[in-house]
Chain A
Amino acid sequence: MVKFVKPSLNRGLAGRLAASRGADGGFGPRVGAPPEPEATALAAIALDDEDARTWLASRQREDGSLALELGGVDNDAATALAAIAFGPGEPRERALDYLAGAMAAAVDVAPVNPAFPGWPWTRDTAGWVEPTARTLLAFRLFRAQATNSIAIGLGLLRDRECVTGGWNYGSRSVYGLSLPPFGQTTAIALVGIQRADLALAERGLQALRHLWREERDGGLTLATSVAALGLLDDVDHGPAMSAMIENFTRTDFLGDVVALAWGTIATGPGLERLRVLS
Chain B
Amino acid sequence: MGSMEPTDRDHAGRMDRRTFLRGAAVGLGLAATSLAGVRVWRERHGSTQWDAAAFPPPGEGRVAVLHAASYDDGLQEKVLDGLRAIGADVRGAAVLLKPNFVEYDPGTAINTDPRLVVAAASALRRLGAASVTVGEGPGHRRDTQYVMTRSGLLDALREEDVPFVDLNTDALVARRLRTSFTDLGALWLPRSVADADIVVSMPKMKTHHWAGVTLSLKNCFGCVPGRVYGWPKNALHWAGLEEAIVDVAAAVRPDLAIVDGIVGMEGNGPISGTPIASNVLVFGNDPVATDVVAAKLMGFDPTRVPHLAEAGRFLGQGDLGRIRMEGEDDGRLAKDFAVLPAFRSMKIEGAVGPA
Contacts and interface: CB of A to CB of B under 8 A. Distances in A.
Interface in A101-149: 105, 107, 109-112, 120-122, 125-128, 130
Contacts of A179: 27
Given A125-B234, A184-B142, A217-B145, A109 B28 contact: yes
B169 A29 contact: yes
B17 to A, nearest CB: 10
A59 interface: yes
B1 A59 contact: yes
Contact of B3 (A70, A112, A256): A70
Given A61-B2, A177-B268, A220-B146, A128 B170 contact: no
A30 B231 contact: no
Interface string B1-42: 111111000100000000000110111111000000000000
A257 B227 CA distance: 12
User: SS class of chain B's interface: helix, strand, loop or mixed?
Assistant: loop
Contacts of B142: 130, 184-185, 220
B137 to A, nearest CB: 11
A249 interface: no
A174 B170 CA distance: 30
A70 B169 contact: no
A185 B230 CA distance: 13
Contacts, number: 175
A70 B174 contact: yes
A151 to B, nearest CB: 20
B186 A174 contact: no
A111 B27 CA distance: 10
Interface in A20-39: 28-30, 33-38
Contacts of B231: 121, 128, 130, 169
Contacts of B27: 168-171, 174, 179
A70 B229 contact: no
B227 to A, nearest CB: 6
Contacts of B5: 70
B145 A73 contact: no
B228 interface: yes
A217 B231 CA distance: 19
B209 A33 contact: no
B144 A256 contact: yes
A49 interface: no
B174 A36 contact: no
A78 to B, nearest CB: 9
B26 A126 contact: yes
B141 interface: yes
A227 to B, nearest CB: 14
A67 interface: yes
A126 B25 contact: yes
Contacts of A251: 145
B143 A175 contact: no
Nearest to B25: A126
A36 B28 contact: no
Contact of B230 (A77, A105, A184, A215): A77
A158 B129 CA distance: 51
Given A71-B10, A126-B234, A220-B146, A33 B170 contact: yes
A251 B141 CA distance: 19
A126 B229 CA distance: 12
Interface string B137-163: 000111111110110000000000000
Contacts of A171: 26-28
B28 to A, nearest CB: 5
A122 B229 contact: yes
Contacts of A50: none
A254 to B, nearest CB: 5
A54 interface: no
Contacts of A112: 26, 28
A29 B146 CA distance: 17
Interface in B168-200: 168-172, 174, 176-177, 182-188
A170 B177 contact: no
A211 B2 CA distance: 35
A127 B235 CA distance: 11
A68 interface: yes
B1 A36 contact: yes
A36 B171 CA distance: 10
A221 interface: yes
A89 interface: no
Given A125-B235, A126-B25, A130-B231, A33 B166 contact: no
B6 A253 contact: no
B2 A125 contact: no
A258 B340 CA distance: 38
Contacts of A33: 169-171
B26 A72 contact: no
B199 to A, nearest CB: 20
A128 B22 contact: no
A262 to B, nearest CB: 11
**Which 3 pairs, one residue from A and one from B, show the smallest C-beta to C-beta distance?**
A218-B146, A121-B230, A71-B185
5 contacts: A30-B170, A71-B177, A72-B186, A219-B145, A258-B169
Interface of B: 1-6, 10, 22-23, 25-30, 140-147, 149-150, 166, 168-172, 174, 176-177, 182-188, 209, 227-232, 234-235, 238-239, 268, 272, 340
Given A71-B6, A109-B22, A110-B28, 11 more contacts: A28-B171, A29-B227, A59-B1, A68-B188, A70-B186, A109-B23, A111-B28, A126-B26, A170-B27, A171-B28, A217-B150
